[in-house]
Each structure stands twice: as structure tokens, then as C-alpha cells.
Amino acid sequence: MINIGLVGCAHIHTPGFVKNINNRGQQLRISKAWDPTPARAERWGRESGATVVSDVNEIFADKEIAGVIICSETNRHQELVLAAAKAKKHIFAEKPLGMGSKDSYAMAKAVEKAGVIFSTGYFMRGNPNILFIKEHVEKGTFGQITRVRGSNCHGGALGDWFKAKPDNVAEDWRWMADPAVAGVGAFGDLGTHMLDIMLWLMGEVESATAVISPGTKRYQNGDSFCDECGEGLIKFKNGVIGTLAAGWDDVANPVSFLISGTEAHAAIINNKLYFKCDKLNSTGEAPYEGLTGVPAGLDSWLNAICGDTSAKVVSVREAAYRPAVMEAMYEGFKKNKWVAPKTMK
């Protein structure tokens, strides 16, 4: 039995993560849970069968706990990740890793120094369609790639997912619509998933910018509204043009990914892959069948800490670079200019 500490229960993925671990039977368990809001800690401690602690340091000091899952608000990540790294705990930290480049890179340095197993919630890396595309990017099947486009949108704002729930604090996700706490709004929250895929495929960014909108203006924070949708524009260092769409104001998201090259083209439409490549006798008229995925996100980290050396985790350096690129897009929007992402030194 491997013991895990649940450090923060604020993220909207907390229920799914608790269920995931509960379903693993005797292999893993959440032994202790903490959140600064007692009602959250009690709820998810009860759901997981964990002992609820009022001091998070009890988790970091517990020698029986091998790793921690950090599902706190984003503005708490740095303090918690640094403490976990110091205690030599394996770390799964929800995305985005940090509020921006500064805290993300500080966490990355600490985690690399600690030498622990790290990952974050980029579960799209296990998608069979994405894996097929990555394989053929690496093989050079696409020829010269000219552009790539990702879209990750849903109707979360339209469904009031982030409405304050004073009568149910344990499932109150309102903080996710406050960039002062979450680091970003809808564009950054959902966009980071597809941004990860684009960076995973195309590499580093020369510069980026965006147009970001408050959309339906459901979430006011002081004198401003949380962004609910946006479109980013990216110049990759390899010359590829990238566009990124993300938001909470969409009733559908049929075309989630496109990649175009001089020798091939691929599109993911309604979760089905269409691939045109004359050299491989693929017309692109019918969806590809028989593709298989791999565990990703939390699943790959859990497998890794259980000793699976084939598990594919996201490196902390990768996780830190995503907020840096997203930071550049938000800054580009505010200043109406192209911005180069800050790099880790």
C-alpha cells in the first residue's frame, strides 16, 4: 500500500482524483487530507477515507506518505510545492503549475533539486489521436509543418460551473474565475491543456500574443471581469504558426486540433482523427480506426510512483514553461504587442 497526501481540495478535479484513487483498491490510498477551508477538508477526507489534518506540515513530515497531490488554489502552489520538494515527496500539482513564469520556475528548480517524481494534469497527452499525430510529426510525415491550431472550449460559464456556493463550500469553484487566485481566467485555464500539446509537438516559442474577452461577463472581481474566452497567436522557433482557442462560453467544440504540412494534414473532429497523406495512401475522407492511448495526467503519475518505469509523466520544466507562454499571451493582449516568453535560468 502506497500512502498519498491530499494537499488542498479546492480544484474542480478533486472529486475525480479521489474517485480514481479509491478505485485502485489496495494499491494506493489517500491517508491524510488537508485544506485551509475545514469544510472542504472534511468532505474530501470523508470521501477518500483519509485522516483530516489541520496543519499541512503533518503531511510533509509523515514518513509513511510517499507523494502528495496538490489540488489547492493556484496562488498556494508555490508554498506547497516547495514544502513538498523539501520533504522529498513525489508531487502531482494541478495545472497550471504557477501564476506565471516567476513562481513556476522557482518550483521547477526546487523539484529538480529534490529529484522526486513530478507530473501535472495534462491528460491530453494520452489521447490516441494526439499520440498518432506526435508519432508522425517525429517521423517527418507532415513534411514542412506550416501551421498548427488547438481549440479547447466548453460551456462552463454558460452552465454557471463557477458560481459561488456558500451553502456547499466543498464544491465551490468560484476562485477559478478570479485571476488573482487562479492566475488566469478561462483562456488560461482551458487553453493550457491544448497549449501543452502544441508545445509538446512544436517545441519552444519565439513570441506570442492574444485577444482575450470577458465574454458573457458572469464573473466580476472588483472593478474587472474574469476572461471567459480568447484566441492566441504563437510564433514557434521552428517557424510554425500556431493559433489557440479556449473558453467557457462555447456550446460545442467540434474541431479540437489541426496540423498542416507540405506532405500531410490531420484534424481531430468530434474526437475522431482525419488524416490525409498521399505517401501513406490516406485520403482523409474517413476517420482513422484502431488507435490506442496511454495513461496520462494523474494516472501516469500514480503508475510512476507505484514503480512503473514506462509511465510517461510531464517534467516539471515542461510544466513551468506553459505558464510562461500563457503569461506572454496575456501580456501581449494587455499591451497589444508580441511578447517573448520568459525562460528558466
Q: Which amino acid is at 290?
A: G
- How many angstroms separate the CA atoms of 220 and 275, rounded? 43
Percent of the chain with pLDDT over 90: 99
pTM above 0.85, yes or no: yes
**Going by C-beta distance under 8 Å and a sequence separation of 6 or more, which residues neighbour residue 138?**
none
User: Would you say residue 119 has pLDDT above 90?
Assistant: yes
Domains in the chain, CATH or no CATH each: 2-120 (3.40.50.720), 124-293+313-335 (3.30.360.10)
Model pLDDT for residues 130-176, shown as the tens digit of each residue: 999 999 999 999 999 999 999 999 999 999 999 999 999 999 999 99
| Eight-state DSSP code of residue 157 | T
> What value does the mean pLDDT of the chain take?
97
- How many angstroms separate the CA atoms of 251 and 159, rounded? 10
- How many angstroms separate the CA atoms of 263 and 243, rounded? 20
Q: Which cell numbers hold the place of 7?
A: 494537499
Integer-rounded Cα Rg, in Å, for the chain is 20
The whole-number average pLDDT for the span 248-263 is 98
- How many angstroms separate the CA atoms of 195 and 289, rounded? 26
CA dihedral sign of residues 197, 335, 173, 220: negative
- How many angstroms separate the CA atoms of 239 and 217, rounded? 36
The whole-number average pLDDT for the span 39-65 is 98
Buried b (16+ CB within 10 A) or exposed e, 79-113: ebbbbbbebebbbbbbbbbbbbbebbbbbbbbbbe
- How many angstroms separate the CA atoms of 267 and 258, rounded? 4
- How many angstroms separate the CA atoms of 297 and 302, rounded? 9
- Whose CA is closest to 162, among 151, 173, 154, 171? 173
The whole-number average pLDDT for the span 61-71 is 98
For residue 233, the model assigns a pLDDT of: 98
Model pLDDT for residues 172-227, shown as the tens digit of each residue: 999 999 999 999 999 999 999 999 999 999 999 999 999 999 999 999 999 999 99
For residue 133, the model assigns a pLDDT of: 98
For residue 194, the model assigns a pLDDT of: 98
| Eight-state DSSP code of residue 163 | -
Model pLDDT for residues 4-47, shown as the tens digit of each residue: 999 999 999 999 999 999 999 889 999 999 999 999 999 999 99
Half-sphere exposure of 113 (CA within 13 A, CB side): 13
For residue 25, the model assigns a pLDDT of: 85
